[in-house]
């Protein structure tokens, strides 16, 4: 079976400056994201060992570790592509993003309302977590989720398409305790074309959840 691997960054460490410093990007990708990849692989090995030995004393911890590390890997893999040095602005003004812009307006009433909700959700995360824009397939709507750690407080089946990392490691070297300043600055580097691609892909793979018995 394939194991998880750390994806390469789609840009140089300095590509998102001054919104995010090169030092943060390097540490965040090369150390933090890498640790989640290793954690997911290590946990899969430990689960294989548990099956082999029929030794289930650590099952609760192992399942939690798998959810944590795998979700960390998934969210960071999206995060890097959600950002670009040429990003920002409102999606309506970006080529090829009209369908996503319409969905945001339909789901949240306005872009301003959506932006305020995602900013607030990310900036007020208690402890470690994320603010996430996700496609929810049962309603066909977009929703904002405030994710605990990497894996908690999410709606099952929803697909994250725009993720704001609100862990301290994402901003502290540069923004210190001003998490809200960091989240507000993040809007300057959003890669709307990437978010729009993810929206289209999420919409097209929802049938499995909608299957009737």
Q: Which residues bind to Mn ion, rule: CB under 5 A?
A: 165, 167
Decide whether 77 or 178 has the Cβ nearer to Mn ion. Answer: 77
**Please, which residues bridge with residue 83 across strands?**
190
Q: How far apart are CA 152 and CA 173, in angstroms?
A: 26
Q: Are 150 and 68 in contact (CB under 8 A)?
A: yes
How far from 50 is each of 41, 47, 148, CA to CA, in Å? 14, 5, 28
State the minimum distance, in angstroms, from the CB of residue 170 to Mn ion.
5
Residue number closest to Mn ion, CB atom: 165
Decide whether 51 or 169 has the Cβ nearer to Mn ion. Answer: 169
Decide whether 73 or 198 has the Cβ nearer to Mn ion. Answer: 73
Decide whether 114 or 167 has the Cβ nearer to Mn ion. Answer: 167
Decide whether 165 or 194 has the Cβ nearer to Mn ion. Answer: 165
State the minimum distance, in angstroms, from the CB of residue 28 to Mn ion.
6
State the minimum distance, in angstroms, from the CB of residue 136 to Mn ion.
24
Q: Are 67 and 154 in contact (CB under 8 A)?
A: no
State the minimum distance, in angstroms, from the CB of residue 128 to Mn ion.
9
State the minimum distance, in angstroms, from the CB of residue 137 to Mn ion.
26
Q: How far apart are CA 138 and CA 96, in angstroms?
A: 25
Could you give the strand order of the β-sheet that contains 141-148, starting from the edge strand earlier in sequence? 141-148, 129-136, 159-165
State the minimum distance, in angstroms, from the CB of residue 36 to Mn ion.
8
Q: How far apart are CA 135 and CA 145, in angstroms?
A: 10
Q: How far apart are CA 205 and CA 207, in angstroms?
A: 6
| Nearest C-alpha neighbor of 138 from the set 168, 159, 119 | 159
Q: Which two tokens stand for residue 71?
A: 């979700």
Decide whether 74 or 92 has the Cβ nearer to Mn ion. Answer: 74
Q: How far apart are CA 80 and CA 16, in angstroms?
A: 10
């Amino acid at each position: 079976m394939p194991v998880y691997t750390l994806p390469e960054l789609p840009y140089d460490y300095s590509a998102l400056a001054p919104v995010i410093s090169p030092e943060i990007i390097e540490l965040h990708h090369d150390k933090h994201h890498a640790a989640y990849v290793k954690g997911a692989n290590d946990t899969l090995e430990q689960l294989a060992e548990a099956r082999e030995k029929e030794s289930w004393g650590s099952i609760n911890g192992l399942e939690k570790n798998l959810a944590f590390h795998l979700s960390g890997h998934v969210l960071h893999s999206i995060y890097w592509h959600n950002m670009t040095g040429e990003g920002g602005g409102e999606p309506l003004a970006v080529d090829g993003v009209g369908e996503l812009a319409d969905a945001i307006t339909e789901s949240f009433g306005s872009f301003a309302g959506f932006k305020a909700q995602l900013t607030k959700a990310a900036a007020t995360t208690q402890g470690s977590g994320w603010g996430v824009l996700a496609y929810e397939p049962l309603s066909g709507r977009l929703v904002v989720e405030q994710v605990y750690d990497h894996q908690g407080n999410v709606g099952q089946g929803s697909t994250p398409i725009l993720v704001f990392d609100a862990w301290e490691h994402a901003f502290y070297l540069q923004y210190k305790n001003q998490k809200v300043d960091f989240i507000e600055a993040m809007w300057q580097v959003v890669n709307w074309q990437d978010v729009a691609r993810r929206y289209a892909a999420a919409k097209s793979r929802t049938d499995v959840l909608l299957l009737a018995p």
